[in-house]
Structure formats: structure tokens, C-alpha cells
Structure 1
Amino acid sequence: MLNILWLGFFLVAAAAGLFQWLALGDAEVFARLIASLFDMAELSVQLMLLLFGTLTLWLGFLRIAESAGLVEWLARLLAPLFRRLMPGVPAGHPALGLITLNFAANGLGLDNAATPIGLRAMHALQTLNPEPRTATNAQILFLVLNSSSLTLLPVTIFMYRAQQGAPDPTLVFLPILLATSASTLVGLLAVAFMQRLRLRDPVVLAWLGGTCLILGGFMALLASLSAAAVASLSSLLGNLVLFGVIIAFLLAGAWKRIPVYEQFVEGARDGFEVCKNLLPYLVAMLCAIGVLRASGALDVLLDGIRWLVLTAGLDARFVDALPTALVKPFSGSAARALLIETMQHYGPDSFPALLAATVQGSTETTFYVLAVYFGAVGVQRVRHTVGCALLADLAGVLASIGVCYWFFG
């Protein structure tokens, strides 16, 4: 599937470039295409430099947690649930604890912590893979849920809005929470359908129902707070939880009389080894995305959507926020730039800017996640991963549009 998508990006870019040259007389389009290749190759190296530091740091702390038995404890806690959602993973396997930590980090908006934990979890799942080049059901479910962007505290979105002068940076908090919940639910249902998972199992229903109750209670609590209090709580809770996790790992290691420094160094060394294998996959995917953007194909698609919406007599305000939605599955940095550009052009509290912020917080860089997570373990045949992940993204975008018309329309 990735082979077809990757080739398709280049072919669509080539067709769009030829159209701009022959029909529109834009002879500079091919210069932009070549420049985008070099720019994306350079960006890949920049991302690798960031990942080197992040991965070595967090995989070092994770090695301490594993040695102290924390990951095994989490695995036993969640064994009844994941035994049903991931029947191919034995009860108590370390991957289950790592998956739990990854979901917790994503939920708190701690992207820098979530990525290395997720890569460690993918490596643990790969040890159970009888066909190393083909994704297992468990790996697919993990990646789809990971790419569905279940974020309870979208701190980074608040930061972007504050930087652009929004008087209430947390105005999009509840819309993002609702939209990202829809995205995750659709991703889970899509994978469950493809893999014939039994979601009606009492244990699964208990976990899902309990999660919904906790989430609803949390939303009710936040709705009762002022905007300033929510912003303060979001920032404090995110950073406090992150540092608290680090201290908990260290204290657990000291309690077990583990040489924490030596364990950290060993884990950090593993992170360095993982990073070395990622660069070819990042260069391949980001360069394909770069030429697609530079060719103008996305602009043509946007104009076509606007024409269809207006022809149908519908409100077209949401179309101005679609660039963020269209680019987000391919490039997080491009989507972030488009979000900021939308806020600057229309104002941070305009409908397009609020919708773009909600989309940014409730969708994920699907193809980047695919390239990084599967590339780290050498998986090439991803089976139904792409379809399920993109369906979750689509649900996030549609939910964002509906919720924003409800809240701000």
C-alpha cells in the first residue's frame, strides 16, 4: 500500500506540474518541484536531529521503568482488555505496558514523550511478528489508535492561539476533545470490523464505558472553570505529569536497587540505534509530500471543493480551514504553518481559524506516523492500516466541522 501511495504522490505531482506548464504557462513549476525535494531532504535531517535527542532521552528513562517492573505491572493491569483487542499478544507482554504509556502521553499532548514510547512498543510487538515485513493485527490496531490523535489536553494548540493574540486561547478545548474522541472511536471501530474483534465483550464494554464516564466527568469539571483556570490547569497538568512520570521511574528504580544511571545509558544507546534506521523512511515520505505540495495539486483540490460546496448552496466558511485538514495527514509542520497562516489572515477567533485549530488538535500526521513507526521495525506491507487511519482522520475532520458550527456557527 505504501508503495502505491508513494508512487502516486509523484505521479500526481508530475501531472499537476505538466498542467501548470502547458496550460497555465508556469515554467517555474519544475524548479519548485526540484527545490522541494532538496528542502524536504534537509527537513528530514533536521527532524532526525530532534528525534536523536528525544529518543535517547525517553528510551533511557523507559529502560529504568522496565527494569523496575513498572511496564510489566501496567501490562498485567491491562491484560484483560488487550487480550480481547489484541489476541495475538500474550497476557503480561511488555508491549502492553508500553502501549498504555504511549496512549497516556498522547492523551496529555506530550508528543515528545509519546513518540519514543510508541517506537519502543512497536519494537516489542515486532518480537511477536512471524512475518517481519508484514504488519500484524496488533501493530495495526496500535498504530491506528496512535494516529487517531486522542488528545485530552491540547496544550500546543493553546500555545499557537496565544501567540497569535487570541484573548481566550482555550476556546477550542471542548471542540477538540469532542472531535478527537470521534476520531479515535471511528478508528477503533474500523479496525474492529476489519479484524473481527468482539467489542461486545463485557470486559471491553466495561473499559470503554468507564473511559467515557471519566472523560465526561473531566469535561464537566473543565466546563465549570473559567478560561484562565482551564489554560492554567492544562499547562500545569501537562508539565507536572511529564516530570512526575520521570520521578516515578527514578524512584521505582531506586526502590528496586537498580543502577539507574547505567540503565539510562543502556536505554539511550538503544534510542540511538533506532534513530539510525529512520532517516531513509523519512526522506522517502517527506520528499513525496514536498513535490505534491509544490505542484499545486492541493490548491486545485481545495478550489474544487469550494466550487462543489457553493454549487450545493451550502455554507462554505469551513473550506478556508481545509488546507490544514488536507495537509495534516502528510506533514505536521506544513499543517502547523497553515494553521498559523489561517489565524494571521482571518484572525485567531474567526470561524476558519477556530476550525483549523480544532482540526489540528483532532487529527494526526498519518503518513509520518506510518513512515516512522513501521520504518523503525522494517515493516513494508501495512495491510489495512492506511485505510483505517485515514477513516479516523476523516471522522476527526467531519466532527470538527460539525462541532465548530455547533459551538461557533
Structure 2
Amino acid sequence: MVDASFSMATASVDLIIALIGVMVLWLGIMKVGEDGGAVNIIARIFGPFFNKLFPELPKNHQSIGSMMMNLSANMLGLDNAATPLGLKAMEDLQELNVEKDKASNAQIMFLVLNTSGLTVIPVSILAYRVAAESQMVSVIFLPILLATYFSTLAGLISVSIYQRINLFNKTVIAYIGTATAGIAGLLWWFSSLTQDQITEVSSFGGNLIIFLIIISFLFLAFRKKIDVYNSFIEGAKDGFNVAIKIIPYLVAMLVAIGVFRASGAMDMVIDGIKGLFSLVGLNTDFVDALPVALMKPLSGSGARGAMLEIYNNPNFGPDSFAGLLSSVFQGSTETTFYTLAVYFGAVGITRTRYAVVCGLIADLTGIIAAILIAYLFFH
């Protein structure tokens, strides 16, 4: 346990160092987009919807564009791009926060939507399955989409209950209905493709969208005669400063997670769940993938490591039931405690209110949905 605490403290700083470059890049690009007017355009498009979910925000506030960029990156499974975009959104929301050490309603709604982890194209998971020489690479596409959709709905509903937001408003229903129709259409299209085509389209589509975003930001900046270089440098400096602020919060969170794993507590929880389900005569095949589900709310890298262990285990492999379910677990929820520590820590929030409760509701819904869907599709 002592060794784990020291190794995780070192790993925390290593993670931040690796993150600095990505954060500097994307916050620089976001600043170019902000100065060029791209973020305002996004805010106007999704403003009516976000104004209902975030009633305390001014109309077309810049945070709406930042939040939409973050959620879009998450939908594409682009974790490295999503984190700096999310931090930018949290900083924009903090400017409107009256009590700087206490999470506002808008910050909690954004955090829970982020941690619910709606994933349309799980690029990174598909890549890991290809590397593990899976013969059914893209079979997890539909289950992940369905599990994350239920997780996001649960998170949205739970926060709305706390904040007394009317989800039956015509504007909200119109946007959610359009999104649902879009997902249904995407599923219909993907159902006509082979597994190799789905993998290729998913990877190419995610990279193409990111590339088009960068090109669009640059084009708008040039059109408004913005000094792109200086604008990028100004935003990039913020990325470095934010990364430094995160370190204490990240060290505290990852050390706690490392000690929890090293103590054997996780093994005890998994063995207890397996024994309980066996006692009542229920199928326990899902238990082999549970380490991924239990680690995901705590640490994305820990959950990824647990998933890869199952992939490389000769008793399982990427195409076993445990391997497939672990893939769905990995894509069905976000790292709630890690995201909370990083996003709130970056702006100095220590009073999180009901953010953890709503985040865990979304996570638990995603886990249960993943198990049920996996039995439906793979068992």
C-alpha cells in the first residue's frame, strides 16, 4: 500500500506532464476559435437548448460553445482533446460563479453531462481492440452507444430533479428528439457496414471532424484578420497554468485509488458480488469484467489497464464475453472522481454539493445498462 501511494504520486505528475502538451495545444486552438467567433457561432446554434438546461447562464454565453466542444470530443471518444476543452468550459462557468469555492448549478450540470460519457464513436476502444487482434473489433459499437445514452439520460434527469429543470419543455424535447433520431440514423447506417468498414469509418470520421474544427477556427480567424499566432500563444499559456493548478488534486485522488487497489479492497468487493449472485443462482459471467466497471469512475487509466489485462489473459481475450463486456464498460461511463478532481480543482472548487451523487447515478446506470445489453448482444 505504501509502495502504491508513492508510485501513484509519481504517476500523477507524469500524467500531468503528458497532459500539458495537449492542453497547451487545444486551449491555444480554442482561443483562436474564440477570437475568430467560432465559439459564439456554436453558442448560438445550441443556445436555446443550453439556455433551458443552464438557466442561470447569459444568452449565448461563451461557455456554451466551450461545453459543446467538450461534449463533442467525448462523443467521438477523443479523451485527449476533451479534457482541455472541458477545463476551458469550467473556467468560463467559474467567471459567473458567485461563490468561488462552491460549485454552481451550471457547473454541476456540465460535470455530470461530461462524466455520463455519451460516446457515439468509441475511437480509442476500437483501436485497442485492433491492437489486441480481435476478430470482432466493431461489435461493441452499438452496445456502447446504447449504454452511454442511458447513462447520459440518467445523469441529466437526476441533476434536473435537484435543480427543478423542466425537461418536458418543447425546446428540450426538440433537441433531444433530434439527437435521438440522429443516433438512430447512425445506427441504421452502421448496421449496413462490415466490421472492418465500421472500424475504418469510425477512426477516419473522428480524425476528420477534429481536423475540420481546427481548419474552421483558422479560417474564421483569418477572415476577421486576427493575429492567429499571438492568439494561440495567449491561449496556450493558460493551458500550462491550468495544468499546474491540477497537480495537488490529481495526486490526492490517484494516491487514494492506488491504495484502494493495493489494499485488496477491490478484490473483496468483486468476490463478494460473485458470491452473492452465485448464492441466488444467477449467472456470474459478468463478474470477470467488473474490475473495469469499478475502476472507471475512479481512474480512466486504471480501467484501461484492467480492460487490457482481460484482453491479454489467455483464459479470456478481447472476443470473450468478459473481453466484450469490459470494452462496453470502458466506453459506457466516464471517470467521475478523476473528472471532478481535475475540473473542480482547476478552478478552486472544494464544495461539490450533489455533483458526486448525480455523477454516480449516471455511472451506476451505465454499468447496469452495459451488463444487460452485453447479455442481450453477446451471451
Aligned to 1:44: 12
Aligned to 2:344: 374
Aligned to 1:357: 327
Kindly state the Cα deviation for residue 331 of structure 1 after the two structures are TM-superposed: 1.1
Alpha-carbon distance in structure 2 between the residues aligned to 1:204 and 1:234: 28
CA deviation profile, 1:174-209 (whole Å, cap 9, x unmatched)? 111111111111110111111110001100111111
Alpha-carbon distance in structure 1 between the residues aligned to 2:318 and 2:51: 45
Aligned to 1:322: 290
Relative to structure 2, which stretch is displaced further, 61-70 or 163-172? 163-172
Pair 1:215-2:183 in alignment: yes
Alpha-carbon distance in structure 2 between the residues aligned to 1:347 and 1:79: 45
| Secondary structure, aligned partner of 1:132 | coil
Alpha-carbon distance in structure 2 between the residues aligned to 1:80 and 1:331: 34
Pair 1:398-2:368 in alignment: yes
Give the number of aligned pairs.
377
Alpha-carbon distance in structure 2 between the residues aligned to 1:398 and 1:53: 36
Pair 1:34-2:2 in alignment: yes
- Checking the alignment, whether the CA contact within 8 Å between 2:152 and 2:362 is kept in structure 1 is yes
Q: Give matches, 1:155-174, under 5 Å.
A: 155-174=123-142
Aligned to 2:160: 192
Alpha-carbon distance in structure 2 between the residues aligned to 1:77 and 1:349: 41
Q: Give matches, 1:45-64, under 5 Å.
A: 45-64=13-32
In the TM superposition, structure 1's runs of 4+ consecutive aligned residues that sit over 6 Å from their partners are none
2:133 is aligned with what amino acid? G
Aligned to 1:244: 212
| Secondary structure, aligned partner of 1:278 | helix
- Checking the alignment, whether the CA contact within 8 Å between 1:110 and 1:242 is kept in structure 2 is no
CA deviation profile, 1:110-134 (whole Å, cap 9, x unmatched)? 1111111110000000011110000
Kindly state the Cα deviation for residue 84 of structure 1 after the two structures are TM-superposed: 1.1
Alpha-carbon distance in structure 2 between the residues aligned to 1:119 and 1:270: 10
| Alignment TM-score, normalising by the size of structure 2 | 0.98
- Checking the alignment, whether the CA contact within 8 Å between 2:78 and 2:124 is kept in structure 1 is no
Pair 1:308-2:315 in alignment: no
Aligned to 1:331: 299
Kindly state the Cα deviation for residue 214 of structure 1 after the two structures are TM-superposed: 0.7
Kindly state the Cα deviation for residue 327 of structure 1 after the two structures are TM-superposed: 1.0
Aligned to 1:15: none
Alpha-carbon distance in structure 2 between the residues aligned to 1:334 and 1:100: 27
Identity value in percent? 49
Alpha-carbon distance in structure 2 between the residues aligned to 1:48 and 1:193: 35
CA deviation profile, 1:244-263 (whole Å, cap 9, x unmatched)? 11111111111111110111
Alpha-carbon distance in structure 1 between the residues aligned to 2:324 and 2:85: 31
Kindly state the Cα deviation for residue 159 of structure 1 after the two structures are TM-superposed: 1.3
Aligned to 1:347: 317
Task: List gaps (5 residues or longer) in structure 1.
Answer: 1-32
Alpha-carbon distance in structure 1 between the residues aligned to 2:340 and 2:114: 10
| Secondary structure, aligned partner of 2:55 | coil
| Secondary structure, aligned partner of 1:39 | helix
Aligned to 1:22: none
- Checking the alignment, whether the CA contact within 8 Å between 1:282 and 1:372 is kept in structure 2 is yes
Alpha-carbon distance in structure 2 between the residues aligned to 1:344 and 1:227: 21
CA deviation profile, 1:246-303 (whole Å, cap 9, x unmatched)? 1111111111111101111111011111111010011111111111111000100100
Alpha-carbon distance in structure 2 between the residues aligned to 1:205 and 1:337: 39
Task: List gaps (5 residues or longer) in structure 2.
Answer: none
- Checking the alignment, whether the CA contact within 8 Å between 2:76 and 2:206 is kept in structure 1 is yes
1:404 is aligned with what amino acid? A
Alpha-carbon distance in structure 1 between the residues aligned to 2:124 and 2:61: 33
| Alignment TM-score, normalising by the size of structure 1 | 0.91
2:83 is aligned with what amino acid? T
Aligned to 1:386: 356
Kindly state the Cα deviation for residue 168 of structure 1 after the two structures are TM-superposed: 2.2
2:346 is aligned with what amino acid? A
Alpha-carbon distance in structure 2 between the residues aligned to 1:165 and 1:275: 35
Q: Give matches, 1:222-241, under 5 Å.
A: 222-241=190-209
Kindly state the Cα deviation for residue 347 of structure 1 after the two structures are TM-superposed: 1.6
| Secondary structure, aligned partner of 2:281 | coil
Name the Cα RMSD after superposition: 0.8
The structure that has the greater radius of gyration is 1
| Secondary structure, aligned partner of 2:350 | coil
Alpha-carbon distance in structure 1 between the residues aligned to 2:320 and 2:378: 9
Alpha-carbon distance in structure 1 between the residues aligned to 2:301 and 2:106: 29
Alpha-carbon distance in structure 1 between the residues aligned to 2:37 and 2:126: 36
Alpha-carbon distance in structure 2 between the residues aligned to 1:117 and 1:305: 37
1:388 is aligned with what amino acid? C
Aligned to 2:48: 80
Kindly state the Cα deviation for residue 172 of structure 1 after the two structures are TM-superposed: 0.5
Aligned to 1:265: 233
